[in-house]
Every structure is written in structure tokens, then in C-alpha cells.
Structure 1
């Protein structure tokens, strides 16, 4: 039994290992001395930034619950995890949120060189919660996936964007290059000038993808429609930056304020904030997609579940690529390797399944009904 009094003294050891406010706090030190700060940072660096940020938030919530419940967070027991999943179920958290909470706890134990607690009971709670949510048929409890920005919708989004402005040119390039690379927003924002070279066939792009080992550049050919050609769109954006006196080095996509100023220094209470290089944030990528969808009036319900309106985000470009690839008859392997999915990716297979609901792979076609 791991229940302990919920006092500051008994919880100080757990909270001490996660006291840093950065995302790398999940990679905590061992109670036996453990890793140096440099080693912990190196281990944390191998985990994608957004994953680390999510895990860190999950770990903070778990340790806070443990303090309130009088349980030990590190090391935790299987009973503690089961009770915590019951707590999350009571808050009607999504199965995906609950699953990630378990993953963050496992990461923290591994980083602290401690055995991972049993998840048998917790997984049963999770499975039951998932079944209950499906049975409820409540549209508010269904997962809201990012809408797929397929080429027909991208054409509408681009057509509704004023490409004579700096923000318009940047957003068009973000939309089209993001789709062509099937890029996560974190990958798109990290592109530098030197990462994308114009070649005879189009673009050769080096994309930093921490989850997949990829050697060599990705090829982005010229589009058949000049208005939605990623090569031409990026060229126009780059030329605009040069015309505005921006050097052809550093971040490829920069923040732009409401006055149209590119990479303008930002301050809050007299102190500089934001990336000093002017690099756009992941949230900025998502905002560009959402703005374009709103301008094109793409907020109407769509898909198989008409009571769930689509959610436009930075992930819409990546999902749109997977959907379009499936509809064009491309295979899982070639699509996955271009987009940085691991071989056998369940998420990519899910996109393919959803995109194939009405194509010739539907088993009802041709069976004689």
C-alpha cells in the first residue's frame, strides 16, 4: 500500500524532481544521485518539444493529485494509477488524454531509473471509459479531429487570401508547403532558408523530424495549378522578404504583426518576448490555417458526422495530405515515409480508413445490393 500522509515533507522528494518549469522537467533525476543536469537535458532533447510540453503538464497534474490524495507519485504503484484514471474518468477526460497521462508517468519513472508501475487496472478503467463514451452517442463526447485540408479546400483557402500583403503571402506559402511536406506545425515552423532549396524539379526540403529517421531531402514538385503550387508560393514569399530587406538566412517563416511588420521586436512590460529571430510559433501556423478556412467560409459541418463541425488547425494540412494521398491511390508506405509517419503508423492507417469510406475499397461496392 502506497498511501502516505499528504504533507509537504512527504511530497517534497517527488516535487523536487519536477520543480523546473520547462518541458524537460519530466526527465527528472534519480533518487540515487542519477543524471547530471546536462545529461537530463540531452535525454529530454530526444523527445519532441510538443510531446515534452504535454508530458510536463500531465506530470504536474498527476503529482498535484497525488499530494491531495495522500499518494506517492514517484515511485507510483499500479493502485495509484488505477485510482488516478478513475479520477480522470470522473472529470470525463477524453481517452486520448488519459492514455497520454499514463505515458507521461511511465516516462518520468524511466527517466528516474525506476521500474514502471503496472497499468493493468488503469488500462481497464480507460477501456471501460472509452466504451461508455461511445455508447452515450453524445456528440460533445466524440473526438474532434482536425479537418482535412485537401486540395479542393486548399484552392478555396488560397483564393480567399489576399496574397498582395505580407501576411497573405506568408500564409499561402505556409498552407501549400505545409500540405506538400505533410508537415507537423512544429516541423514547419523550424524550417530555415537553407533547409529548402529550389532545384530543377521543384523544391528539395530537409525536414527535421525527431520521431522518424529520414535521410535525404523530400521532393516537392511544381504544382499543376500555378495558384496552388507550393514552389511558386514559397518563391513569392522569399522574394517579398528580400524586397523588405530581410536577409535570405535564418527562419523561413516569420511572425508578422497587425501592422504588417515582419519579425518586429515584441515587448511586454518593457521586456522582450517571443523568439528573438522572429520565427513564427506553432500557434501562429495553426492560426494561419484557421484564418484561411474562415475567409473561405469552410466552417460548415462536414464528413460522416454532421453534428460535429470540422476543427481547422495546423494539423489540417498533414491530415489533408494523407487524405489526398489515399484518394489518389498512393500506398501507406510511400505516403508515410514522405510525411514522416513510422512504418505501420496507426494514425496514418486511421486517416486512410476514413478517407476510403466512399472509394472503391468500400466492400459494399459491387457486391450486388
Structure 2
């Protein structure tokens, strides 16, 4: 038999890690033996090296937030298995249905049930985790768990339970004015203004400004050009055009320029380099701590909207919802809104944001008499 090694050179460990390692070894060994039969021993090493490269590339191009979601969901699955005294590496129909029932009943760390949408995410990611660990999960068994989840979610609704935070409140122009006026005359205040005013104009998610580099934002005679990478597909780099605003107080271009000028003046020319983060973290003493991450963007948006006295605190998604709804109220074409915000044209989520405002003005039952 031809000998092979685990692709990453891992050292065997005990417990489930050892089971996972054994599965990888067995899978690679089977591949090596098939290659040897088809192509000869000389080709095996080169094919194995190509396989290692493919694994490395797959790991490199997987977005961090996707990896984080899988990790969190696998830990939820582990907690369920411990509570139910079921083996982690088994994805039977009964285990998966019991998993969704447990999540809705008591799955959160505090003993309360998850919202159905969260439970659905954890179910999907747990199935991925099982398959990654060599566990066969049939489509029928997964479908049974999903049907159970949907049926239990309907029962919750009928019982009057509404779980989850619901859709985030959308940003609006009055809120932008309030936030701008509440920002202190500090680097942090300038960054906050630039973060919110530019993010609103291109319908940012929390991960968008966190992923921007200085070189992704360019001044143009008519405003800013912002290259946004969502990381979902090879086509998900878009260039948003952000024009000067007629109202200087909430002008995103002026806010961006003021923030970047102050950052370089106070902390050095190195922050002008194209490869540095566009939006930086700043501690309470005014020290730059590096680039912002999606969670810090979400916390910042919530904090500054609360500080400004916005009636309902904004979240990291409020800027995205806000552009769709405010632009629609202003009469902008839905295709132009989709292009600016990076939605697919006629996106259901975008149209849903718009419908929150159109429900009265465009109501099908209005003015019929």
C-alpha cells in the first residue's frame, strides 16, 4: 500500500479530532491508491501536491464571516449533542430534528430558544460541519429537519411568540444630521461622520467599510469613487459613485476628506498608504489600534446613533436599508438604487426595504372610490 500523509501535516489528537483526522487520512489514502492505479506511482506526489494547493486556496478564499458562522454553529451543535447525550459525528434524521426542536426550545446560552431564522442558519452550517468531518447526511434527513423547523416556527407564531430582533430600522436624513451634530471635534468624531455619511450613500453592510482599504477610495471632481468588495462572488466588486451633497453638514465627500486629513496629520503619513485600512479603530485615548472589523462597525453605528438621540438605535444594517427607502421616497429609479447599493436588480430584499415606505403612497387599495 502506498503511504500518504494528512495534507496539513497535523499531529493526531484524541477524541473527535482524532476521528476527523482518521477520516482525512482514509480519504487521502483512497485517492492516492486510485491515482497510482490510473497514472502510476511517479504521478502520485505531484497530484497530492496539487490537492494540497487546492485545499489551501479553498481556505484562503473562504470569507472570514462564513468561517465564523460555521464555527459558531458547530459549537451550538456540540452543546446540543452534550445536552442530549448524542454523538457529535452522527447526522441522522432523528438527531437533526431533535436539534431544531432543542434550538427553538432552549438552545441559547441563556436557556431561551433561538429565533427560527437563527435556528435555520445553525442547522445549515451544522450539516456542512458534519459533512466536512466525513459524516454522511442525506438530503432527505436534512429536509425532514427543515420541515420540522418550519412547522414548529408556525406553531410559535400561532401561540403569539415573535422571536428575533426583526428588521433593523433604516437610516434617514434627519438621523444623519443629528449624528453629524453630535460628533465631537476629535479624530474619532471625524471618523464616525465619514463612516456613516459615506456608508449611507453606498448602502453599506457592516463588513463593507471594515474591508475597505485607503486605496479603495478615490477623490473625483464630482465626489468619491469607492471600490467595495463583498467577497461573495468574483463579480461582487463594484465601484460606487458618491457625489458631493448640496448640504455641507452631511456631505460624505467633505467628511471623508476631513477624516483622512486629520488621521494623517495626527498619526503620520503611513496612514496615507493605499494598503492601510480606510477606517481605523481608535481607543479612548485617541490611539489608532488598526483597522475596524464588522463587529466594531456595528457597535460604532449603534453608539453614535444613540449619542445623537436617534429614536431607535441604528444597527450595522441601518445604512443599507436607509439608502433603499430614502432614495425610493425621493423618486429614484429602483434599478439605479440597486446598482448603487450592490443589490441584484429587482432584489426581493431591496424591494422589501422600499415597500416599508411605499405601503401607503403606492397602496393598491387607495383612491379606488
Q: Shorter-chain TM-score: what band?
A: 0.7 to 0.9
Shift of 1:282: 2.1
TM-score in terms of structure 1 length: 0.78
The residue that corresponds to 1:268 in the other structure is none
Structure number having the greater helix percentage: 2
Secondary structure of the residue aligned to 1:93 is coil
Secondary structure of the residue aligned to 2:281 is coil
Please say if residues 286 and 314 of structure 1, whose CA atoms lie closer than 8 Å, have aligned partners that are also in contact: yes
The residue that corresponds to 1:219 in the other structure is 241
Taking only aligned residues, the RMSD between alpha carbons, in angstroms, comes to 2.9
After TM superposition, the structure 1 stretch with the greater mean CA deviation from structure 2, 193-202 or 126-135, is 126-135
1:257-300 Cα offsets, whole Å, 9 max, x none, are: 1122233xxxxxxxxxxxxxx112222212221222112212x4
- Structure 2 distance, partners of 1:362, 1:47, is 43
1:68-87 Cα offsets, whole Å, 9 max, x none, are: 53544445123321111111
The residue that corresponds to 1:168 in the other structure is 189
The residue that corresponds to 1:318 in the other structure is 320
Please say if residues 170 and 253 of structure 1, whose CA atoms lie closer than 8 Å, have aligned partners that are also in contact: yes
Shift of 1:227: 0.8
- Paired residue for 1:252, among 275, 278, 302? 278
The residue that corresponds to 1:362 in the other structure is 363
Task: Summarize the Cα distance change of 1:83–1:138 in structure 2 as closer, same or farther, 3 Å threshold.
Answer: closer
Task: Summarize the Cα distance change of 1:45–1:315 in structure 2 as closer, same or farther, 3 Å threshold.
Answer: farther
The residue that corresponds to 1:270 in the other structure is none
Task: Summarize the Cα distance change of 1:210–1:296 in structure 2 as closer, same or farther, 3 Å threshold.
Answer: same
1:124 equivalent in alignment to 2:125 = no
- Paired residue for 1:338, among 337, 340, 356? 340
Structure 2: stretches of 5+ with no match in the other structure? 1-12, 32-47, 107-112
Equivalences for residues 141-220 of structure 1 within 5 A: 141-162=163-184, 164-212=185-233, 213-214=235-236, 217-220=239-242
Equivalences for residues 89-128 of structure 1 within 5 A: 89-91=104-106, 92-109=113-130, 111=132, 116-117=137-138, 118=140, 119-128=142-151
Shift of 1:206: 0.9
Equivalences for residues 129-144 of structure 1 within 5 A: 129-138=152-161, 141-144=163-166
The residue that corresponds to 1:327 in the other structure is 329
The residue that corresponds to 1:230 in the other structure is 252
Shift of 1:88: 0.9
- Structure 2 distance, partners of 1:53, 1:78, is 26
Shift of 1:233: 0.5
Greater C-alpha radius of gyration: 2
Please say if residues 187 and 209 of structure 1, whose CA atoms lie closer than 8 Å, have aligned partners that are also in contact: yes
If asked which structure has higher relative contact order (CA below 8 Å, sep 6+), I would say 1
Shift of 1:190: 1.7
- Structure 2 distance, partners of 1:334, 1:185, is 22
The residue that corresponds to 2:351 in the other structure is 349
Task: Summarize the Cα distance change of 1:215–1:157 in structure 2 as closer, same or farther, 3 Å threshold.
Answer: closer
The residue that corresponds to 1:77 in the other structure is 92
Shift of 1:12: 5.1
1:116-168 Cα offsets, whole Å, 9 max, x none, are: 433222122221232233233346x3533322112221111112222x21110
Structure 1: stretches of 5+ with no match in the other structure? 1-7, 18-27, 264-277, 301-309
Secondary structure of the residue aligned to 1:206 is strand
